[in-house]
C-alpha cells in the first residue's frame, strides 16, 4: 500500500510541476489547452534528436534533448504534445507527438490479417525448448502470462534461450545500478540491448515491474493498458523473462517480447 501511495504522490508531483512550468510561460491567449490521458506509459523517440521544451509549443524554451530510440515515461498529451518524464535525469517537459511513439508501434511489421486462433485451455505448465531451463519463478510467470493469452484466444509464448539471458541481465542491471526504467544507462533501450546480444526480431516490446510476487506483477501489468497490449500482442511469439531479488520491491521483473 505504501508503494501505491508513493507512486500516486510522485505522479501528482510531476503533473503539478509541469502545470507550474507551463503557467509561468503562458499568456491569456494561450491559456486554453486540452489535457488528455494517453493509453500507453512509455514512448520511444523516433527522431535523431528531439527537443524537450517547457511547454507544448516551439515557442517555449528548450530544456533538454532526447536521442533516437531513447525510452521515456509519457504522462499526458496537450494539443499534440506529450508531457514526458525521463527517469534517469528527472527531466520533465513537453515533446512533439510526431516524434515519440508507443513501443508497440515501433519496430513492428504490419498485421498480416491472419485470423486469431480460438481460445485453448490454460497451459499448465507452458512447454519450453529443451535447451532452456527456467527457474520456478520464471516458469510461474510464463504460465500466468500464457494463461492471459489463452483467455484472449492467442497462442502461447515460447521461452527463447538467448532472450532469457538478456532479460535476466536486464533485471540484474536494474537492481545493481538502482534504476527502474526501460532505458538502461549501460545497454540503452530494450531494442538496443537485444541487438547488442544478437537477438533478431520483426517486432519487440518489454514489460518491467517491481513486486513481491509473480501473480502481483502480472495483475499489475494486466491492469495497465500499455503492458496489457504487450502481453496480448498477437505478433509476439517468443519471450525472455528475468527475475531478480530487490531490496526495494521484493523482486524486479523483466519480460521481453519478440515476434519473428
- Tens-place pLDDT, residues 11-67: 444 444 444 544 444 333 444 456 677 776 778 898 889 999 988 888 899 999 998
Contact (CB, 8 A) for 188 and 194: no
Q: Mean pLDDT over all residues of the chain?
A: 80
Lowest mean pLDDT of 5-9, 14-18, 166-170, name the range.
5-9
In the prediction, which pLDDT does 104 show? Answer: 65
Bridge partners for 101 per DSSP = 44
Q: Which residue has the higher pLDDT, 175 or 16?
A: 175
Is residue 40 assigned to a domain?
yes
- Long-range pairs for 4-13: beta carbons < 8 A, 24 or more residues apart: 11/75
Is residue 229 assigned to a domain?
yes
Q: Which residue has the higher pLDDT, 147 or 86?
A: 147
Q: Using the 8-state DSSP alphabet, how is residue 188 labeled?
A: B
Is residue 91 assigned to a domain?
yes
In the prediction, which pLDDT does 127 show? Answer: 52
Contacts of 195 (CB under 8 A, 6+ apart): none
- 78 and 140 in a single domain? The answer is no
Average pLDDT of span 224-249: 93
- 94 and 138 in a single domain? The answer is no
Q: Using the 8-state DSSP alphabet, how is residue 201 labeled?
A: -
Is residue 9 assigned to a domain?
no
| % of residues, the chain, pLDDT over 70 | 75
Tally of domains in the chain: 2
In the prediction, which pLDDT does 74 show? Answer: 85
Contact (CB, 8 A) for 97 and 66: no
- 143 and 241 in a single domain? The answer is yes
Bridge partners for 246 per DSSP = 250
- 142 and 253 in a single domain? The answer is yes
Average pLDDT of span 193-197: 92
- 98 and 138 in a single domain? The answer is no
- 246 and 154 in a single domain? The answer is yes
Answer with the one of 52, 86, 103 that is the final residue of a domain: 103
Q: What is the Cα–Cα distance from 251 to 198, expressed in whole angstroms? A: 27
Average pLDDT of span 138-156: 97
Is residue 75 assigned to a domain?
yes
259 phi/psi in degrees, rounded to 5: -120, 135
Lowest mean pLDDT of 32-36, 84-88, 98-102, 125-129, name the range.
125-129
What residue numbers bound the domain in which 79 lies?
A: 36-103
User: Residue 173's pLDDT band (boundaries 50, 70, 90)?
Assistant: very high
Q: Using the 8-state DSSP alphabet, how is residue 71 labeled?
A: E
Is residue 5 assigned to a domain?
no
Amino acid at each position: 500500500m505504501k508503494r501505491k501511495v508513493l507512486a500516486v504522490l510522485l505522479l501528482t508531483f510531476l503533473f503539478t510541476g509541469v502545470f507550474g512550468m507551463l503557467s509561468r510561460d503562458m499568456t491569456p491567449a494561450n491559456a486554453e489547452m486540452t489535457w488528455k490521458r494517453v493509453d500507453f506509459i512509455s514512448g520511444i523517440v523516433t527522431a535523431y534528436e528531439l527537443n524537450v521544451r517547457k511547454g507544448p509549443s516551439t515557442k517555449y524554451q528548450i530544456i533538454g534533448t532526447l536521442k533516437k530510440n531513447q525510452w521515456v515515461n509519457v504522462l499526458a498529451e496537450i494539443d499534440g504534445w506529450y508531457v514526458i518524464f525521463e527517469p534517469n535525469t528527472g527531466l520533465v517537459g513537453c515533446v512533439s507527438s510526431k516524434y515519440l511513439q508507443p513501443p508497440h508501434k515501433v519496430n513492428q511489421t504490419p498485421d498480416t490479417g491472419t485470423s486469431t486462433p480460438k481460445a485453448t485451455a490454460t497451459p499448465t505448465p507452458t512447454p519450453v525448448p529443451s535447451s532452456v531451463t527456467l527457474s520456478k519463478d520464471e516458469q510461474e510467470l510464463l504460465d500466468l502470462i500464457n494463461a492471459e493469452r489463452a483467455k484472449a484466444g492467442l497462442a502461447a509464448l515460447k521461452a527463447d534461450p538467448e532472450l532469457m539471458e538478456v532479460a535476466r541481465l536486464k533485471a540484474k542491471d536494474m537492481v545493481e545500478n538502482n534504476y527502474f526504467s526501460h532505458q538502461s544507462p549501460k545497454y540503452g533501450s530494450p531494442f538496443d540491448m537485444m541487438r547488442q546480444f544478437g537477438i533478431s526480431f520483426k517486432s519487440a516490446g518489454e514489460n518491467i515491474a517491481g513486486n513481491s510476487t509473480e501473480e502481483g506483477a502480472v495483475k499489475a501489468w494486466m491492469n495497465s493498458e500499455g503492458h496489457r497490449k504487450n502481453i496480448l500482442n498477437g505478433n509476439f511469439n517468443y519471450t525472455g523473462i528475468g527475475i531478480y531479488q530487490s531490496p526495494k520491491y521484493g523482486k524486479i521483473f523483466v519480460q521481453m517480447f519478440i515476434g519473428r
